C-alpha cells in the first residue's frame, strides 16, 4: 500500500486510539465528548440510535438502557485496514474467529455472506468483544454480544423508512 492508503491507516489508528475510541458500555455524555453532538437520534426497536460524524466517518451508536452496546464505523474501509484497527482497539494482534454458533448469529444479522466478510473476537477488560467487517457497506462494527448485534439488525430491518 502506498501514499494515501498509508496516510488513511495512520489517521484511522490515531482517531481510534484508546483515548478517542468510544468504548462499549459508555453513555451518551461520554460519546458526545468524543464525537461532538449527534447529527441525529431516534428509537429503533428497544434501542436508541445516535449518529455522529468524525474524521470522515459516519459513526452509528446503539444504546440499550443508557449505555452503548454496538458501535459501527462506516467509511472507505478495506478488510486489511479494518483488521489493523481492530487489533489497535483490542490492544493485541491475537484476534481469533468467534465460536461457530456466534459467527452464525453474526452472519444472520449482517444478511450477507461473502469471502470478504470477516469477524474477530478477543478478550477485553469487561469480557469477550467482537468486531464484524462488512465489505458491502465498508463498515466495521464493535459489540460484545452477538445476540444483541442480531437484535439490532432485526430492529433496523423492521423499522419504517
What residues form DSSP beta bridges with 52? Answer: 59
* Residue-range definition of the domain harbouring residue 10: 4-158
Which pLDDT score, from 0 to 100, does residue 60 have?
A: 94
Query: Using an 8 Å Cβ cutoff, are 155 and 46 in contact?
Result: yes
- Cα–Cα nearest to 51, from 70, 65, 66, 25: 70
Which pLDDT score, from 0 to 100, does residue 63 have?
A: 96
User: Which residues of the chain fall below pLDDT 50?
Assistant: 1, 3-20, 22
Which pLDDT score, from 0 to 100, does residue 114 have?
A: 64
Which pLDDT score, from 0 to 100, does residue 147 have?
A: 84
- What single string gives the DSSP state of each residue in 107-120? HHHH----TT-EEE
| Domain count within the chain | 1
Which pLDDT score, from 0 to 100, does residue 110 have?
A: 66
Which pLDDT score, from 0 to 100, does residue 52 have?
A: 95
**Radius of gyration of the chain from Cα atoms?**
15
Which pLDDT score, from 0 to 100, does residue 9 have?
A: 43
CA distances to 55, 79, 83, 97, 152 from 139, rounded to whole Å, are 14, 9, 12, 18, 15
Length reported for the chain: 161
pTM score, whole prediction: 0.79
Which pLDDT score, from 0 to 100, does residue 29 have?
A: 94
Which pLDDT score, from 0 to 100, does residue 125 have?
A: 76
User: For residues 27 and 94, what is the distance between their CA atoms, to the nearest angstrom?
Assistant: 28
Amino acid at each position: 500500500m502506498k501514499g494515501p492508503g498509508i496516510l488513511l491507516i495512520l489517521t484511522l489508528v490515531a482517531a481510534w486510539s484508546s483515548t478517542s475510541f468510544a468504548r462499549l458500555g459508555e453513555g451518551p455524555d461520554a460519546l458526545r465528548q468524543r464525537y461532538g453532538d449527534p447529527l441525529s437520534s431516534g428509537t429503533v426497536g428497544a434501542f436508541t440510535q445516535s449518529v455522529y460524524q468524525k474524521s470522515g466517518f459516519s459513526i452509528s451508536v446503539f444504546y440499550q438502557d443508557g449505555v452503548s452496546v454496538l458501535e459501527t464505523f462506516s467509511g472507505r474501509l478495506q478488510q486489511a485496514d479494518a483488521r489493523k484497527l481492530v487489533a489497535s482497539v483490542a490492544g493485541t494482534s491475537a484476534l481469533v474467529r468467534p465460536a461457530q454458533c456466534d459467527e452464525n448469529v453474526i452472519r444472520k444479522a449482517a444478511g450477507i455472506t461473502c469471502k470478504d466478510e470477516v469477524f474477530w473476537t478477543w478478550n477485553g477488560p469487561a469480557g469477550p468483544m467482537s468486531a464484524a467487517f462488512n465489505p458491502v457497506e465498508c463498515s466495521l462494527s464493535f459489540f460484545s454480544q452477538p445476540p444483541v448485534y442480531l437484535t439490532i439488525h432485526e430492529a433496523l430491518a423492521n423499522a419504517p423508512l
